[in-house]
Amino acid sequence: MSNRKRTVLVTGGMGGLGESICTKLADLGYTVVTTYSPGSSKAVGWLAEMKERGYHFHAYALDVGDTDACASVISQIEKDVAPIDVLVNNAGITRDMTFKKMTKVDWDAVLNTNLNSVYNTCKPVVDGMVERGWGRVINVSSVNGQKGAFGQTNYAAAKAGMHGFTKSLALEVARKGVTVNTISPGYIGTKMVTAIPQDILDSKILPQIPVGRLGKPEEVAGLIVYLASDEAAFVTGANIAINGGQHMS
């Protein structure tokens, strides 16, 4: 199977890291499908902007925390486009606050979008990968799932849980030509991070990063491209840190 024939689904692909993942995979000949939050107003504009840049992406509204919606939309994608060969679980949200202030609603929102979503998207695609004898699942976690972070009990729990899922599923499908891996980015120069006031970046964040800068979205996308490739067939159940040396385990 050549890269040109492979179809990748990137959840939360419109913006920041997701956009870099989509464009880098498209540059290598993958057919790229992405999802966006239902009710988001940016899908039409984003698709038009991407088309101007030469990218023809397929996009579907999807609440990744909704199990039935994931089954339905992924079934539609496979009818409209092709079976999914590579799944990149990139969609995620934050509801940062101290545990003292955190409500059950804040906890549930983050666990549902960041962790339950991994079950919801893998469930409809992994059996097909196994049947075809080839597949890649790449779960985008976070350095804070490894080391914890003040005000992120919900987010860190979800991102750590994601890797437990990765390891267990990897064991189940390892002999079937399907790999399952986690990547854990540190601070990446997306709009969300660059919106942090410069003095906070300079005084609190950059001093924690030995390479002395934020990561680039295309660097993370490059790691995902590798994990999606034939050359990565011996890498499974791994959690690959990409954090500029901020946290080493």
Quote the pLDDT of residue 40.
Answer: 86
Other CB atoms within 10 Å distance of the CB of residue 53: 8
Quote the pLDDT of residue 120.
Answer: 98
Write down the pTM of the prediction. Answer: 0.96
What tens-digit pLDDT sequence spans the chain (249 residues)?
444 489 999 999 998 899 999 999 999 999 999 999 998 888 999 999 999 999 999 999 999 999 999 999 999 999 999 999 999 999 999 999 999 999 999 999 999 999 999 999 999 999 999 999 999 999 999 999 999 999 999 999 999 999 999 999 999 999 999 999 999 999 999 887 888 889 999 999 999 999 999 999 999 999 999 999 999 999 999 999 999 999 998
For the chain, domains (ranges, CATH) are 3-184+219-240 (3.40.50.720)
- Is 155 assigned a catalytic role? yes
Quote the pLDDT of residue 3.
Answer: 45
Provide DSSP, the chain.
--GGG-EEEETT-SSHHHHHHHHHHHHTT-EEEEEE-TT-S-HHHHHHHHHHTT---EEEE--TT-HHHHHHHHHHHHHHT---SEEEE---------TTT--HHHHHHHHIIIIIHHHHHHHHHHHHHHHHT-EEEEEE--HHHHH--TT-HHHHHHHHHHHHHHHHHHHHHGGGTEEEEEEEE-SB-SHHHHTS-HHHIIIIIGGG-TTSSPBPHHHHHHHHHHHTSGGGTT--S-EEEESTTSS--
Q: Which residue among 119, 155, 187, 226 is the active-site one? A: 155
Residue positions counted in the chain = 249
Quote the pLDDT of residue 220.
Answer: 98
Quote the pLDDT of residue 142.
Answer: 96
Mention every residue, 6+ apart, whose C-beta is less than 8 A from residue 6: 29, 30, 31, 85, 86, 228
Quote the pLDDT of residue 103.
Answer: 98
Quote the pLDDT of residue 228.
Answer: 98
Quote the pLDDT of residue 39.
Answer: 86
Cα dihedral: 13, 187, 149, 198 (round 10): -120
Q: Read off φ and ψ for residue 83, nearest 5 degrees.
A: -60, 150
